[in-house]
Amino acid sequence: MAGFYIMKGDGSHDRYRAVAIGGSAGGAAALETLLSCLTGDFPLPILVVQHLHPADGGAFSRQLARTVAPEVIEPCDKERIEAGRVYTAPANYHMVVEREGTIGLSIDGKVNFSRPSIDVLFESAANAWGREVTAVILSGASADGTEGMRAVRAAGGRTIAQDPAEARYPLMPQSAIDARVVERVLPAAAIGQLLHALGSREKAAGPCGMNLLPYG
């Protein structure tokens, strides 16, 4: 895990405000594995885009809520983003982050044949949280997420891909790795442990301050 945090000249490191996770085929199982490593008091919000059937009707979110400790919500438009909650994008909507710290939903056209699209979430998260967001790409038979990971990297955020060797469908993490926008490649459980450690460190560091608006 050494080297994951950027150490500033004064020895302190950057704070984190949010985690964004994208998954497609095989992603739901990896997501469960990952989130099972976290406790209910995880100090950051987690935003998830998992590609879903348009008629999912919240079933994915309800299933996930039964299996992991943090509270899982399929949000409505303009819901306030709170620490320790997992927000899963509803089927047939794109989910974005607004800079004031709320969820935005849209029915704009599909991106990468997908709605919700991982790129759409990651790009908005990069815009809202800049270097303070960590993006994770999981199993999938799609290239969705690669451009979003690029945006997160460009904004100075952290990027992690599930190890394609472990992923049920390696294409999606591999696509991001090939685009050279991934910092760490790990199995899903190790990503969960890494996030757990990051969360513990955030908790130890105390409240993050009131500033949810990195750019005012």
Partner 1 sequence: MKPPQIENIEVDLLLEAIFRRYGYDFRSYARASIERRIRQFLADIGGESISQIIPKVLYDRDFFMQLARRFSISVTEMFRDPFVYRAVRETVAPMLRTWPHIKIWNAGCATGEEVYSLAIVLKEEGVFDRATVYATDFNDEALARAKEGIYEIDRLREASGNYQQAGGKSSLSAYYHARYDAVAMDSTLKQRIVFSNHNLVSDHVFGEMHLIFCRNVMIYFNRELQKRVLGLFTESLARGGFLCLGTKEDLRFTDFSGRYAVVDDRAKIYKKTVADG
Tell the smallest beta-carbon distance from residue 153 to partner 1 (Å). 13
**d(Cα 167, Cα 160) in Å, to the nearest integer?**
13
* Binding flag, residue 133, partner 1 (CB under 8 A): no
Alpha carbon distances (Å) from 209 to 17, 26, 202: 10, 37, 12
* Binding flag, residue 99, partner 1 (CB under 8 A): yes
Sole binder of partner 1 in the list 47, 49, 96, 136 (CB under 8 A): 96
- Give me the 135-174 binding string for partner 1, x by CB under 8 A, dash otherwise: -------------------xx-------------------
Tell the smallest beta-carbon distance from residue 10 to partner 1 (Å). 20
Taking each helix axis as running N to C, give the angle between helix 188-205 and helix 27-35, from 0 to 180 degrees, rounded to the nearest 10.
Answer: 40
Tell the smallest beta-carbon distance from residue 58 to partner 1 (Å). 9
Cis omega (within 30 of 0) for bond into 116: yes
Query: Which alpha helices (H) appear in 40-170, and where do they start and end?
Result: 59-67, 118-129, 146-154
51 is catalytic: yes
10 is catalytic: no
Q: Where along the sequence are the contacts to partner 1 (CB under 8 A)? A: 75-79, 90, 92-94, 96-99, 104-109, 120, 123-124, 126-128, 130, 154-155, 215
